[in-house]
Amino acid sequence: MYFGLGLWLGATSVAVVAAALGGVVQSLLPPAVRLVPLGLVALAVLLREAGVITLPVPENKRLVPEHVLHRGRVFGGVQFGFEMGTGMRTYSPSALPHLVLLAVLLAVPFSGALAAAAGFAAARWIMAAASIAHSDDGSWSALWSDNRRLLAVATAVATIASLAAGLWAVA
């Protein structure tokens, strides 16, 4: 519960800052100048997730320090979740969060940025909960590995379709 709260707080913090910057960008640049690059990046991310191309993803290759967990169930859980929720202090196996962040900067309205934050936090929480609930024998990792590409492509298509539908509705 506290981990989830921290995830939501971290993701919301990033979304609010990105939406504020995005408000400036979106007011200064016409839609075509913003949406064409966003569409090209979405295509590149889809190809990356499908394994067709290789693109590095900006990431901070450090885990949240173990001492954070020793701060207690409430404060440790919230801080650990916050740091994971910002996406700034962890490994990033997918480019999808970067695509959504770019979309928030270039096209998504403030309310959409808050929805994206909630979605990011929920996805992080679901992965942690699923891995803990599955087993300790390594079968979760094997199951994930066996289906990684399919899940990556399905998630990419769902993310891009959601962004497109949301932007279409706003336009």
The set of residues, in sequence order, having a beta carbon less than 8 Å from that of 154 and lying 6+ positions away, is: none
DSSP state at residue 87? T
Q: What's at 60, amino acid-wise?
A: N
Per-residue pLDDT tens for 14-54? 999 999 999 999 999 999 999 999 999 999 999 999 999 99
Nearest-10 crossing angle of helices 110-134, 2-28: 150
> Half-sphere exposure (CA, 13 Å, Cβ side) for 36?
4
**Cα separation, 100 vs 119, whole angstroms:** 10
Global confidence as pTM: 0.85
